[in-house]
């Protein structure tokens, strides 16, 4: 290999590596030219030789103890120039980059070539197909790359991406997403085909498919919950039943309220090619009054279908937990409010008082967090803990134990 033009025999290299080398062939000479100009400027200063391993060689490599040498340098001009070169080398030398940055460099060369072809009008149609562009990139860099890809689409270059990244999925227009699944046969669903009862539901879903909620498209099953309490505790509850939701590929999606309808419509079409082909469940409160379910709960029940089931508490999540685990939940409440007692003579009355106090103090999240810590750190409490029946049925149905 030669330093200036990356001369390398690639006839027997693997295809992917050969493509990368061809892309970097464009990039490296430009970098080395800039580096040579910077070094030429440095050699105009006296005493510069001490910063290089071998000042007489053609390839000038900075010494490893460069920081201590810079710190002791009295020539301010030389000091600034060496610091600039060192910063440049750290950022741009190919061998010092991770796989993610080098992938970005390669993608950049391809994009540059496509834009050049577009400007020359040498082709009638141009497309860029990328497999998993998120590889080795943290979410912020994924966002940066995605925005660049959106920019080149505006230049009439079609971009097709296959991805396992919720970050990229969340930033993609829902109408352009196709969900692929492999359940014995490969299935595909274009989200554009989902039939929404109201355009408002579709727009709501588009707004709220953030990174966490977009993970549902990669799951084997989904449980939709109202708030942080259920989201914190469901995995722990499943473990007490001898079931691991994470290992079963089940995603818990906190919708942050009771707006389940837009999410439910991903599952409820009677036509298989217009719905997700995984099991979905909604875990919510019945909010009974005089033995009658609320209108909201009844509307939820009416959406139930083949692959979407609705599981409702008689009152609320915390109420149901208290009925079965009075001593433990009283203990958790006293951790938060040591000077306050729950009022009532029966378990039901105390459960109502607990619910009212959690609402007035706005500490449902803290209550769930302390309960989770107790179940994790106290084996006796975990072994004695009783999971409400409606939650048991929900968990078992989503993982396929019960039909």
Q: Is residue 178 part of a domain?
A: no
Note whether residue 33 is domain-resident: yes
Q: Note whether residue 184 is domain-resident.
A: no
**Residue 251 sits in the same domain as residue 350:** yes
Q: Where are the beta strands (DSSP E) in 153-307?
A: 158-162, 178-183, 185-190, 221-225, 250-254, 279-285
Q: Are residues 243 and 296 in the same domain?
A: yes
Pairing outcome for strands 178-183 and 185-190: antiparallel
Residue 284 and residue 300: Cα distance in Å, rounded?
9
Mean pLDDT of 53-76: 82
228/79 same-domain check? no
Q: What is the pLDDT of residue 13?
A: 38
Cβ contacts of residue 262 below 8 Å, gap of 6+? 196, 201, 202, 204, 205, 208
Quick one: pLDDT at residue 1? 33
With a pLDDT cut of 90, the percent of the chain lying above it is 40
23 pLDDT exceeds 60?
no
Only one residue has tokens 């990368």, namely 20
Do the domain assignments include residue 179? Answer: no
Same domain, yes or no, for 114 and 251? no
Range in 26-30, 120-124, 382-386 with the lowest mean pLDDT: 26-30
In this structure, are 83 and 114 located in the same domain? no
User: Both 277 and 293 in a single domain?
Assistant: yes
How many alpha carbons lie under 13 Å from residue 211 in its C-beta half-sphere? 7
Residue 214 shares a structural domain with residue 343: yes
Q: Which residue has the higher pLDDT, 107 or 280?
A: 280
Q: Which stretches does DSSP call E strand in 184-331?
A: 185-190, 221-225, 250-254, 279-285, 308-313
Q: How confident is the model at residue 4 (pLDDT cuts 50, 70, 90)?
A: very low
**Beta strand pairing call for 308-313 and 185-190:** unpaired
- pLDDT tens digits, one per residue of 246-290: 999 999 999 988 899 999 999 999 888 899 989 999 999 887 666
pLDDT in tens, 286-343: 876 666 778 888 888 999 998 999 999 988 899 999 999 999 999 999 999 988 889 9
Share the mean pLDDT of the chain. Answer: 84
Q: Are residues 161 and 278 in the same domain?
A: no
Q: Is the dihedral of CA 281, 285, 290, 295 positive or negative?
A: negative
Quote the CA–CA distance of 308 and 119 in Å, as a whole number: 50
Q: Could you tell me if residue 199 is inside a domain?
A: no
Instruction: List CB contacts of 287: < 8 A, sequence separation 6 or more.
Output: 293, 294, 296, 297, 315, 316
Q: Are residues 208 and 338 in the same domain?
A: yes
Q: Which domain holds residue 49?
A: 15-95
| Number of separate domains in the chain | 3
Q: Provide the residue count of the chain.
A: 403
pLDDT of res. 219 = 93
- Decide: 183 and 145 in contact? Cβ < 8 Å: no
Closest CA to 365 of 261, 254, 289, 253: 254
Q: Which pLDDT belongs to residue 31?
A: 61
Boundary-marking domain end, from 95, 113, 137: 95
**Domain annotation covers residue 113:** yes
């Amino acid at each position: 290999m030669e330093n200036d033009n990356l001369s390398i025999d690639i006839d027997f290299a693997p295809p992917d590596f050969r493509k990368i080398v061809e892309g970097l062939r464009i990039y490296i000479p430009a970098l080395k030219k800039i580096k040579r100009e910077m070094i030429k400027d440095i050699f105009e200063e006296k005493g510069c030789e001490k910063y290089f391993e071998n000042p007489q060689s053609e390839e000038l490599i900075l010494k490893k103890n460069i920081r201590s040498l810079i710190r002791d340098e009295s020539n301010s001009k030389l000091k600034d120039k060496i610091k600039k070169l060192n910063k440049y080398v750290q950022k741009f030398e190919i061998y010092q980059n991770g796989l993610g940055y080098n992938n970005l460099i390669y993608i950049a060369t391809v994009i540059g070539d496509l834009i050049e072809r577009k400007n020359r009008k040498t082709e009638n149609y141009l497309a860029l197909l990328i497999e998993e562009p998120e590889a080795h990139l943290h979410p912020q860099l994924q966002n940066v790359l995605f925005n660049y890809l959106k920019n080149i689409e505006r230049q009439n270059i079609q971009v097709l991406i296959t991805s396992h990244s919720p970050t990229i999925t969340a930033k993609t227009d829902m109408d352009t997403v196709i969900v692929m699944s492999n359940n014995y046969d490969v299935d595909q669903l274009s989200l554009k085909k989902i039939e929404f009862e109201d355009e408002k539901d579709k727009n709501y879903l588009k707004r709220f498919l953030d990174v966490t909620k977009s993970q549902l498209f990669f799951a084997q099953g989904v449980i939709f919950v109202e708030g942080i309490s259920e989201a914190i505790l469901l995995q722990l509850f499943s473990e007490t039943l001898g079931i691991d939701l994470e290992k079963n590929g089940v995603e818990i999606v906190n919708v942050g309220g009771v707006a389940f309808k837009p999410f439910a419509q991903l599952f409820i079409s009677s036509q298989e090619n217009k719905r997700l082909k995984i099991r979905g469940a909604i875990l919510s409160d019945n909010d009974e009054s005089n033995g009658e379910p609320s209108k909201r709960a009844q509307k939820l029940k009416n959406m139930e279908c083949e692959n979407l089931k609705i599981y409702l508490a008689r009152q609320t999540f915390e109420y149901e937990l208290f009925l079965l685990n009075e001593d433990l939940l009283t203990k958790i409440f006293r951790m938060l409010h040591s000077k306050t007692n729950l009022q009532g003579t029966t378990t039901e009355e105390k459960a109502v008082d607990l619910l009212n106090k959690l609402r007035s103090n706005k500490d449902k999240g803290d209550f769930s967090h302390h309960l989770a810590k107790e179940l994790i750190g106290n084996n006796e409490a975990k072994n004695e803990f009783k999971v409400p029946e409606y939650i048991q049925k929900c968990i078992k149905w989503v993982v396929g134990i019960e039909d």
